[in-house]
A and B are shown apart, each in its own frame.
Chain A
Amino acid sequence: MSGMNQVTDRLRERVRELLADGKIHTFIGYERAWDPYRPIPFFATEAGEAERLIIDELCVPSTPKYMLDFFGREGVVGLLVKGCDSLAVERLLRDHRVERESMYIIGVACTGLLDRDKVKARALEEGWGAVEEVRREGDAFVLVTAAGEKELGPEYLMERCRTCEVKVPTVYDELLGEEVAATAEPRDFAEVAEIEAMTPAERRAYWERQFSRCIRCFACRNVCPACNCRICVFEERVPRWLGRKTDVGEQEMFHFTRALHVAGRCVDCGECDRVCPVNIPLRKLNRKLMKDIGELFGIEKPFMPAETEPLGQFRPDDPDEFE
């Protein structure tokens, strides 16, 4: 397996061309920033800026949702897209929030991203200094740091990447690098089963503890590609669905509502969970609904965007446990 950084030069070359030819006005990729272990989204608007683009297994943030910021603007935006990002693109396309013609998508195959928090903690503890390159060597990751080359095993993979079989983007205009096999651990929803196994009182206490930390920053909603309404339910004043008071009841109402609004449309990208500043395990909410949808309605891949979403359709012979 080779790492994504192999295509860096080709990526920069292509973006330089696209910007210079005026085919796109902006390219959204990644650059290494103040914290070299956490590359950030980078918006190149001139050919000369292509040099700043990087792509490797630390490039985690999902970028397709930025297309909503370009809504209504003329011209084409270039996007660098990994597998999970491509599902986000499909979600936005199917929800009619972005036009396919307004994007030029450069896809890159990805064998799994690094858990940045884990890597950062190790780097700080062992004094690695800055990182300037990330490679893949077989199952392992090799980081070129100020303290020399450091090897990290597959246990440093992001949790969500273990079970991801979308190694190659499902939508792109051109693909950089080689295709890779779609192998992944089975999506067994173990973390959901763990909560299902608790007693009702334990579950109530668990969720109350999680939600009581919520500060209603809306980062989870803002990063989610399925949360793409022009006016979000939580922004509507009439009717007022959610008060601004931050007691546990309101926090729960927020998470309950958001989980149900994205039910059947969530692409399991895990960004909500990653951006939460207070470690609320949001994936455990969305994946519970995903698991049930898959089981109840016989959908093999409930995270894959489809022609019609599960809660927007029905079958006369759907399961019925009500009398």
Chain B
Amino acid sequence: MIYRTLKRESMAVLVDRLKEGGLVAPVREDGVVVFRPIQGDREVASDYINPTNSVKDVFLPQTESLFRFNTAEKGLEIEATPPEGPKYVLGVRPCDAAALELLDHVFAEGQYTDSYYQRRRAEVTVIGVACDQVGESCFCTAFGLSPGHRRGADVMMYRLDDESYLVAFEGERGHRLAEEYPDLFGEAPAEETIEAVVTSYQSREVPAGRVELDGITEKLDGMFEHPLWAKLAARCLKCGICTYLCPTCHCFCLDDEALGYEGVRYRCWDSCMYPDYTLMAGGHNPRPEKANRTRQRFMHKLNYFVHNHGEFQCVGCGRCVDKCPVGLHMLAVIYDIKGVDSDGGQ
């Protein structure tokens, strides 16, 4: 862990340099802020709570080519397509950065790992920016995170004063960035200052995060058949907004696309909220009703993931709270789960 400072006016220089290696950062466009490759005349946005899409897009792209195939000449030829992409992602909030470590449980740990995901995790530097503003729908503190938390980030920027940032560099990728541009990063301030700044961010009030999650996993253990799921699911539109914007959702599908003799096999996002997500050849669908799927989503996040990996699969980023057109989001569901009797009463 090393600390440095970065002058506000040097930010533009840093962005220019990062662009050379490929940079993804939040961009304001047509009324939304979204993570985009910084090319052409795109400018990095600054005044936002959290981009609409998440940093997951960089590490688990919505469409990822796995290999190309060709049957023209010598039977079947297969050529792997290694992952491409930016080397840097800037403007990542602590919640999104922490989400990467949750995705790591699935794609980078244990017996089966995903080489495409791992390669990106190894090569992409995550540059976080601690939260000056806290959104109404933010609830990261419910999951042990905070507006200044560093989990998952290689670099974290805190506002030191009106003219400069305090920058924390962590791990191999973080240190590499500090060493690459020594002319941009100034000396660290005094230790007490560092501690004061970091503490002020990490203890910042997150009103919606006051929801208490103790015991919820155990309660859900007995709620598989609860009538709550049907009640919640009634208003679901069966779209993919929650799953696609969520930084920890990771369901995917494999598919082929070919024209003539050539084609590509790719992985693409899929959503457990879609009716045919679990549709099998032969026509059987184990989750035919909305209630089945709603139950699946929230059990996965609050119960199954806890049993499988030891922690909740949510970072309280609040995107589902903001964007679900019918208010079927994590906070609403958590409160509803807490409010019912686990044996089926109301």
Q: Verify whether A and B have any Cβ pair under 8 Å.
A: yes
Hey, which chain A residues are within 8 Å of B29, CB to CB? 209, 213
Q: Is B321 an interface residue, CB under 8 A from the partner?
A: yes
Closest 8 CB pairs of A and B: A40-B327, A219-B239, A217-B240, A275-B325, A43-B234, A41-B235, A222-B237, A277-B323
The complex places the Cα of A274 from the Cα of B239 at a distance, in Å, of: 14
Hey, which chain B residues are within 8 Å of A43, CB to CB? 231, 234-235
Known: A43-B235, A279-B31. A61 touches B326 (CB 8 A): yes
The complex places the Cα of A235 from the Cα of B234 at a distance, in Å, of: 22
- Of all chain B residues, the one with the shortest Cβ separation from A65 is B237
- Of all chain A residues, the one with the shortest Cβ separation from B254 is A244
The reply to whether B237 and A223 form a contact with Cβ atoms under 8 Å apart is yes
CB distance from A2 to the nearest CB of B (A): 27
The reply to whether B245 and A277 form a contact with Cβ atoms under 8 Å apart is yes
CB distance from A118 to the nearest CB of B (A): 11
The complex places the Cα of A261 from the Cα of B96 at a distance, in Å, of: 38
The reply to whether A213 and B325 form a contact with Cβ atoms under 8 Å apart is no
Q: Which B residues have a C-beta under 8 Å from some C-beta of A?
A: 29-32, 34, 52-53, 62-63, 136-137, 231, 234-235, 237-241, 244-245, 253, 255, 257, 266, 268-269, 271, 274, 276, 290, 321, 323, 325-329, 331-332, 335
**Residues of A contacting B: mostly:** loop
Q: Could you say which of A61, A213, A222, A223 contacts B34, with CB atoms under 8 Å apart?
A: A213
The complex places the Cα of A219 from the Cα of B274 at a distance, in Å, of: 11
Hey, which chain A residues are within 8 Å of B329, CB to CB? 34
Known: A41-B235, A213-B34, A223-B237. A235 touches B276 (CB 8 A): yes
The reply to whether B290 and A244 form a contact with Cβ atoms under 8 Å apart is no
Q: Which of A29-53 contact B (CB under 8 A)?
A: 33-35, 38, 40-43
The reply to whether B63 and A247 form a contact with Cβ atoms under 8 Å apart is yes
The complex places the Cα of A40 from the Cα of B238 at a distance, in Å, of: 15
The reply to whether B241 and A217 form a contact with Cβ atoms under 8 Å apart is yes
Hey, which chain A residues are within 8 Å of B52, CB to CB? 277-278
The complex places the Cα of A299 from the Cα of B83 at a distance, in Å, of: 52
CB distance from B55 to the nearest CB of A (A): 15
The reply to whether B63 and A245 form a contact with Cβ atoms under 8 Å apart is yes
The reply to whether B30 and A33 form a contact with Cβ atoms under 8 Å apart is no
Q: Is A243 an interface residue, CB under 8 A from the partner?
A: yes
The reply to whether A246 and B268 form a contact with Cβ atoms under 8 Å apart is yes
Q: Is A216 an interface residue, CB under 8 A from the partner?
A: yes
Q: Is A124 an interface residue, CB under 8 A from the partner?
A: yes
Q: Is A189 an interface residue, CB under 8 A from the partner?
A: no
The complex places the Cα of A53 from the Cα of B34 at a distance, in Å, of: 36
The complex places the Cα of A216 from the Cα of B335 at a distance, in Å, of: 29
Q: Is A300 an interface residue, CB under 8 A from the partner?
A: no
Q: Could you say which of A38, A221, A247, A274 contacts B327, with CB atoms under 8 Å apart?
A: A38
- Of all chain B residues, the one with the shortest Cβ separation from A219 is B239
CB distance from A223 to the nearest CB of B (A): 6
CB distance from B291 to the nearest CB of A (A): 11
Q: Could you say which of A66, A218, A244 contacts B268, with CB atoms under 8 Å apart?
A: A244
- Of all chain A residues, the one with the shortest Cβ separation from B335 is A34
Q: Which A residues have a C-beta under 8 Å from some C-beta of B?
A: 33-35, 38, 40-43, 61, 66, 69, 124, 209-210, 213, 215-219, 221-223, 235, 243-247, 274-275, 277-279, 281
Q: Could you say which of B237, B276, B327 contacts A33, with CB atoms under 8 Å apart?
A: B327
CB distance from B266 to the nearest CB of A (A): 6
- Of all chain A residues, the one with the shortest Cβ separation from B334 is A34
Name 19 A/B residue pairs within 8 A (Cβ), A-sorted. Answer: A33-B327, A34-B321, A34-B331, A34-B335, A42-B235, A209-B30, A217-B244, A217-B271, A218-B240, A218-B274, A219-B240, A219-B325, A222-B238, A223-B237, A243-B255, A246-B268, A275-B325, A278-B53, A279-B32
The reply to whether A223 and B257 form a contact with Cβ atoms under 8 Å apart is no
The complex places the Cα of A221 from the Cα of B239 at a distance, in Å, of: 9
The reply to whether A219 and B231 form a contact with Cβ atoms under 8 Å apart is no
Known: A33-B327, A244-B268. A215 touches B240 (CB 8 A): yes
The complex places the Cα of A41 from the Cα of B326 at a distance, in Å, of: 7
Hey, which chain A residues are within 8 Å of B331, CB to CB? 34
The complex places the Cα of A217 from the Cα of B237 at a distance, in Å, of: 11
Hey, which chain B residues are within 8 Å of A246, CB to CB? 62-63, 268-269
The complex places the Cα of A147 from the Cα of B194 at a distance, in Å, of: 38
Q: Could you say which of B255, B327, B332 contacts A244, with CB atoms under 8 Å apart?
A: B255
- Of all chain A residues, the one with the shortest Cβ separation from B289 is A69
The reply to whether B257 and A243 form a contact with Cβ atoms under 8 Å apart is yes
The complex places the Cα of A189 from the Cα of B14 at a distance, in Å, of: 45
Q: Could you say which of B241, B290, B332 contacts A34, with CB atoms under 8 Å apart?
A: B332
The reply to whether B240 and A223 form a contact with Cβ atoms under 8 Å apart is no
The reply to whether A279 and B30 form a contact with Cβ atoms under 8 Å apart is yes
CB distance from A200 to the nearest CB of B (A): 20
Hey, which chain A residues are within 8 Å of B62, CB to CB? 215-216, 246
Known: A33-B332, A246-B62. A40 touches B323 (CB 8 A): no
Known: A40-B327, A235-B276, A245-B268. A215 touches B53 (CB 8 A): yes
Instruction: Find the residue from A38, A43, A219, A277 having the highest chain B CB count within 10 A.
Output: A277
Known: A215-B62, A215-B240. A35 touches B234 (CB 8 A): no
The reply to whether B257 and A278 form a contact with Cβ atoms under 8 Å apart is no
CB distance from B245 to the nearest CB of A (A): 6
The complex places the Cα of A255 from the Cα of B40 at a distance, in Å, of: 26
The reply to whether A222 and B239 form a contact with Cβ atoms under 8 Å apart is yes
CB distance from B27 to the nearest CB of A (A): 10
The complex places the Cα of A124 from the Cα of B234 at a distance, in Å, of: 29
Hey, which chain A residues are within 8 Å of B266, CB to CB? 244-245
The reply to whether B239 and A124 form a contact with Cβ atoms under 8 Å apart is no
The reply to whether B31 and A215 form a contact with Cβ atoms under 8 Å apart is no
Hey, which chain A residues are within 8 Å of B269, CB to CB? 246
Hey, which chain A residues are within 8 Å of B323, CB to CB? 277
The reply to whether A210 and B241 form a contact with Cβ atoms under 8 Å apart is no
Hey, which chain B residues are within 8 Å of A69, CB to CB? 234, 290
Hey, which chain A residues are within 8 Å of B332, CB to CB? 33-34
